[in-house]
Amino acid sequence: MRIHHLNCATMCPVAWSLFGLRDMICHCLLVETDAHGLVLVDTGFGTGDVTDPSHLGGAFRGLVRPKLDVAETALRQVEALGFRAADVRHILPTHLDLDHAGGLPDFPETTVHIYKKERDAALARATWREKERYKTRHVAHGPKWEPYEVQGEPWNGFECVRDLKGLPPEILLVPTVGHTRGHVAVAIEGPGGWLVHAGDAYFHKDEMHPEKPSCPRPLAIFQSTMGIDGASRRHNAERLRVMARETKVSIFSAHDADELDRERARA
């Protein structure tokens, strides 16, 4: 197994630099498995978002200011590594927010492993927040869903789903509901040990500090505004913090550029 740490989107929110924050990235994983093809964890923005960003919404584009560079899309990076879109056999989105699911239409034949709750929420778009975060264009091609129930067996303080259909046992879904209804972290046992892609279960590396966790104010406000279940979100962040402190598992969020640098150096 070989793991590539990709950045599949860059976002430069208004006034971010005033708080000393780096641009937000979209940390995605491209996993070369021995017998199961390529596995992509999160997709960032897709080529369709770059060519026609209007469906992302004026508020999102104005406040979050995505860079929308086609060279950053997962598809272009897969190709740059010498693969084709069809070589990506499985996608594991941590959730279906627009900055995580934008690349789905670039891989229309790929199986998408997802909690049923998350898929149903993205298709229903029942609340104003869900209309903002889930974009119909990202699922209009009819992804090949492989839905799961939120349940599982114990793993490092969480429940987890093992035996994902068509995937090796070194890849697990870890329910971390809170940011969205069916948010997951993805745990992978790679050549350097276990790592956990925590998606948007937290946003800033300081939130995982073992003794004095903290979060820059703009990110704290953003998380409580966009979270669907604040109590579950905080509880899951605490469980990730305990895992970071008490195990050798390497944990990173989707959007922290320092964590991406760290994981690339480690890899």
Binding site for Zn ion (CB under 5 A): 99, 200
Q: Which of 255, 222, 190 minimizes the C-alpha distance to 44?
A: 255
Task: Closer to Zn ion by CB, 157 or 218: give it.
Answer: 218
Whether 38 and 31 have beta carbons less than 8 Å apart is answered as: yes
DSSP, collapsed to helix, strand or coil, labels residue 37 as coil
E-strand ranges in 116-223 read: 144-148, 153-155, 158-160, 171-175, 184-190, 193-197
Shortest CB 221 distance to Zn ion, Å: 15
Task: Closer to Zn ion by CB, 99 or 256: give it.
Answer: 99
Amino acid 200 reads D
Task: Closer to Zn ion by CB, 45 or 158: give it.
Answer: 45
Task: Closer to Zn ion by CB, 31 or 219: give it.
Answer: 219
Tokens of 234: 């905080």
Shortest CB 121 distance to Zn ion, Å: 15
Task: Closer to Zn ion by CB, 93 or 143: give it.
Answer: 93
Residue 234: CA count within 13 A, CB half-sphere: 7
Task: Closer to Zn ion by CB, 33 or 207: give it.
Answer: 207
Shortest CB 132 distance to Zn ion, Å: 12
Shortest CB 60 distance to Zn ion, Å: 11
Whether 161 and 152 have beta carbons less than 8 Å apart is answered as: yes
DSSP, collapsed to helix, strand or coil, labels residue 216 as coil
Shortest CB 199 distance to Zn ion, Å: 7
DSSP, collapsed to helix, strand or coil, labels residue 253 as coil
Whether 255 and 200 have beta carbons less than 8 Å apart is answered as: yes
Shortest CB 167 distance to Zn ion, Å: 23
